[in-house]
Structure 1
């Protein structure tokens, strides 16, 4: 987990001896979080796993639990469910802290009983404020309950002194109401911007939702706003400037709204707006446009001119919603769609978006179970040496043998795996499986000894600090000669963090492992970086072969790509060869290798072994 500095000024603590339990399997995270919370006056206890957390609660019940999601054995969702199922711990508020930033993770967190959700890397100020809010709410509830109990006891004891008891009762009720209002006001206010906070906003949404059920002519809408460049401001200008910017954004948002509208800071750089008594969606989109135009103007923060765009999700309120949280959830979903479409714009929620979100969440859950149940399998597609016409190697291609959907191709689940971090385990497993399979084939006396194995790796894997150690471990365990291994990377691997990636690629090269640029020509295709990185092969995307076949008079970019590879001392592979005409064309262009269904579709290991032993020639 990455932790950044806080967007905070000076926070005064009213925590007293309030007790917070932090559950996280990473000691560094526990240390940093406990240090932050201890500095503002909280008593902090730490637990690395469910067992330690359960023991801690048996000793003393905490006032609040901060719970990480991604933990071994039992994840945060299951831990929260266990707490809520236990009568002793069911009322303890749980705040989730996780690197999972997707709306579906937030939905799941609230569904299992969480009261709030903080995304990593988090802002210290955000953690402190959310912790304060939840503890204030809990204190308010306890205080109100105590006052009620005291009041009832006094009434019982002073029944005989009716007049005096009634007088004192009025005093107590007034005092309790004042205290309750004060506590609730503090608990429902954002400390930085002085705007209402998420809890207050949810309450207002609930009131609006109830009105739609009783007033047929009443309509409302929600705007979920997220700043697109706020982290850049924080990282470049500092967190004090970031705090000033949030305050300025809040003030400018208020100028775009009427006094009847409700503006709240939901957390971090997220804001929510409740628009009431709106006539139609055009009126709502007009307000969204006004907000976008207003925020597009620069902010003068200290001595800096700061520009920031926002993405806005719009949800039209209707009585079909059972809970106000669902209204906000769908507005959040629409906001993420606005970001995906280019940022600095608004997008209106429609039910299909929620269906797709649920479908993706179900796919993620199935994929997690697939890893546990070993449902993933590796297919192999031969790569043909055009000089000899024989099989020169194979590309390892992951497949998912789903228990109900059958064989699922990676195009349906790799993007979800990358978003959730499951891609690390998948890629590592495929790499190890492919290396082990090639070693098994090479041990067969009838199999040629010069075969190589190509494995695609996600760009995210190259940024892992233990990436090289994992490769070394796999080579050691499978006893494969690294010269027979080729790692296929995309142009995005090189273009992101190119200095660090270049160092990693050079170390891979020192291990005598070959490197292939996959899908060459579909991305940046800058010759400047091809000279700088230790690549052995360029793999030409199949889309260029299709264009070449459609226009026989113009061979397109394929000859140029092959020429680039040869001029740099690299080999060229043409993928997606489907027919003999394409094969003839790339042979004439002196391409080194070819891959495609003309030779063989991706197949399981035994089928490939039979193909090898048949010694085909093309």
Structure 2
């Protein structure tokens, strides 16, 4: 039995993605060809002429948007459907994908059942179009052959016309409707928004609203109960939303677990807000599917449309931005778009773009904050802190750029750069001290620790240990001088695998510190299970130290817990002599903060060591 379903061209610069998709799609019955960049993809299309293209957006020589635009310029290949795949899930990126000519957008890490479902849908649409084209050709052929047999030809022609109308109706329905929920789809939605914009320009008092809904807990349900249950849940969600709409509102499925409502002819934004509340109430009661009871809420973004709106894409983008704001505020709520949200989104996108180039342009630099013994007053080490000197905006706070680096995955190359640069500068410092300092200072430098933060995404990288070893070899760094700071959540994600990594780090005599302790799990069980050397108490607790305050009791409990396990305690954010005294009384081992010194460049840190300064504590 022939299971061949069609030809697919995979385009991705990551070999692992190509191999994964090739394996799955081949087993599903597709003939699959692969391309590792945009140029080879364009050549591959000419030789293979695939039925569908899965196209990665971010590729080094030519991004997916440009590849798609070039394909659409070629009349021989412009009808090939293109599905974009990307690691980003941002409204602006989605709009760019569809503007370039894509028919769909899949976010990494993707679920293969979803990928196969979407490919099947677009294959069916293409097959329907091909069938219609072949039907037209066959119809013309039959008419020509049966011209002399008028009566028979008329009957045959009528039958063919009926089939043609059915095929056209089926194709039109598929083109305008979502195959799962049978709701109008994104294409229909954009046309309706265009019509509403045109009406508002004709009648300047006319207003409408767009409500962008995203189901808050759908991914958890989909991952735990499977896609079949997830699909049935989406159908039930669509049904409830439809039954809650007034007569002047229409509902469309935008994609995944996202829905959009167009509310026409409204007087004020309150009308949209009341509808948002009604829709959220409709989802409040539990869904029962295959003996599973589940709850789903929705975050809703609202944007008003009037004669000032120019493009449908602007409305969808702004509603999407407002929806993400609602989700950030705690989910299960709505938020009305304002221009500040768009400006902030634009700034964030620009920040992300600049961040991608900042490492290669050497815009980052390190500063060092001393870590001081609360017993001797001597400097025991330094924490390496990254700073960004933007060429136009000047110094950008880590509070602003580190979360963006975490979300985009850029924290991985940035984190490795920080580690390598800290090791290199530390080795230079030791060399300088050995040649210029007293023997006491030179000897002291041998035991100094340099502390570097290790992000969750770095910790989960398969080549973490090998990369650290390469950095040690490249910088001639002694591993016993390194202290890696990790957060509590890193250890809790996959305890069994994490224990293996921690053991490998300990085998290299690397010291391990739990950073921001007290803000996460703060559990004795994991401290007992994992071999860590120190806890760093978060500054939010240190600033609340007072003889009768809750901060003192919390820090006392943390310190006592660490001492019982033989773990050192470091307090960060120390700014007053009173805090020093309290921490000493509690038995805290080390501290850092502005009371000792603000973050210093490498030269200032060296001078501090050369001065043989012992802090009077």
Structure-2-length-normalised TM-score:
0.85
Q: Which residue of 1 aligns with 2:275?
A: 287
Distance 1:543 1:343 in 2: 26
Distance 1:324 1:236, change over 3 A: same
Distance 2:70 2:402 in 1: 31
Distance 1:568 1:615 in 2: 33
Q: Which residue of 1 aligns with 2:608?
A: 611
2:498 is the counterpart of 1:501:
yes
1:318 alignment partner, one of 300, 306, 326: 306
How do 1:169-188 and structure 2 match up within 5 A?
Answer: 180-188=168-176
Task: After TM superposition, give the deviation of residue 422 of structure 1 in Å.
Answer: 0.3
Aligned residues: 595
Task: After TM superposition, give the deviation of residue 345 of structure 1 in Å.
Answer: 2.1
Q: Which residue of 1 aligns with 2:34?
A: 46
How do 1:156-171 and structure 2 match up within 5 A?
Answer: none
Q: Is the Cα–Cα contact under 8 Å of residues 455 and 487 in structure 1 kept in the other structure?
A: yes
Q: Is the Cα–Cα contact under 8 Å of residues 190 and 197 in structure 1 kept in the other structure?
A: yes
2:85 is the counterpart of 1:97:
yes
Task: After TM superposition, give the deviation of residue 365 of structure 1 in Å.
Answer: 0.2
Q: Which residue of 2 aligns with 1:372?
A: 360
Q: Which residue of 2 aligns with 1:385?
A: 373
Q: Which residue of 2 aligns with 1:453?
A: 450
Name the SS of the counterpart of 1:121 in structure 2: coil
Distance 2:75 2:613 in 1: 69
How do 1:7-406 and structure 2 match up within 5 A?
Answer: 19-34=7-22, 43-62=31-50, 64-72=52-60, 74-77=62-65, 79-80=67-68, 93-110=81-98, 112-124=100-112, 126-128=114-116, 130-131=118-119, 180-406=168-394
Q: Is the Cα–Cα contact under 8 Å of residues 547 and 556 in structure 1 kept in the other structure?
A: no
Q: Which residue of 1 aligns with 2:591?
A: 594
Distance 1:176 1:320, change over 3 A: farther
Q: Is the Cα–Cα contact under 8 Å of residues 121 and 179 in structure 2 kept in the other structure?
A: no
Task: After TM superposition, give the deviation of residue 20 of structure 1 in Å.
Answer: 3.6
Distance 1:296 1:366, change over 3 A: same
Distance 1:112 1:193 in 2: 26
Task: After TM superposition, give the deviation of residue 316 of structure 1 in Å.
Answer: 1.9
Distance 2:557 2:271 in 1: 54
Q: Is the Cα–Cα contact under 8 Å of residues 381 and 600 in structure 1 kept in the other structure?
A: yes
Name the SS of the counterpart of 1:413 in structure 2: helix
Q: Which residue of 1 aligns with 2:513?
A: 516
Task: After TM superposition, give the deviation of residue 488 of structure 1 in Å.
Answer: 0.8
Task: After TM superposition, give the deviation of residue 542 of structure 1 in Å.
Answer: 2.6
Distance 1:112 1:438, change over 3 A: farther
CA-to-aligned-CA distance 1:271-321 (integer Å, 9 cap, x gap): 222222233222222222222122121222123223222222222222332
Task: After TM superposition, give the deviation of residue 546 of structure 1 in Å.
Answer: 2.6
Q: Which residue of 1 aligns with 2:526?
A: 529
Q: Which runs of 5+ in 1 are unaligned?
A: 1-12, 153-167
Name the SS of the counterpart of 2:282 in structure 1: helix
Name the SS of the counterpart of 2:531 in structure 1: coil
Q: Which residue of 1 aligns with 2:472?
A: 475
* RMSD over aligned Cα atoms: 3.7
Name the SS of the counterpart of 2:446 in structure 1: coil
Distance 2:472 2:308 in 1: 57
Task: After TM superposition, give the deviation of residue 551 of structure 1 in Å.
Answer: 7.0
2:486 is the counterpart of 1:489:
yes
Task: After TM superposition, give the deviation of residue 73 of structure 1 in Å.
Answer: 5.0
Distance 2:470 2:538 in 1: 31
Greater alpha carbon shift after TM alignment, 419-428 vs 136-145: 136-145
Greater alpha carbon shift after TM alignment, 192-201 vs 69-78: 69-78
Distance 1:554 1:318, change over 3 A: closer
Name the SS of the counterpart of 1:535 in structure 2: coil
Distance 2:246 2:551 in 1: 62
Name the SS of the counterpart of 1:254 in structure 2: helix
CA-to-aligned-CA distance 1:311-365 (integer Å, 9 cap, x gap): 2222222233222122112222222222212222222222211111111000000
Q: Is the Cα–Cα contact under 8 Å of residues 369 and 384 in structure 2 kept in the other structure?
A: yes
1:574 alignment partner, one of 567, 571, 575: 571
Distance 1:401 1:340 in 2: 28
Q: Is the Cα–Cα contact under 8 Å of residues 488 and 518 in structure 1 kept in the other structure?
A: yes
Distance 2:82 2:307 in 1: 29
Name the SS of the counterpart of 2:544 in structure 1: helix
Task: After TM superposition, give the deviation of residue 528 of structure 1 in Å.
Answer: 3.3
Distance 1:247 1:423, change over 3 A: same
Greater alpha carbon shift after TM alignment, 59-68 vs 377-386: 59-68
Q: Which runs of 5+ in 2 are unaligned?
A: 141-155
Q: Is the Cα–Cα contact under 8 Å of residues 206 and 306 in structure 2 kept in the other structure?
A: no
Distance 1:593 1:145 in 2: 77
CA-to-aligned-CA distance 1:523-550 (integer Å, 9 cap, x gap): 3323333223212112222333332269
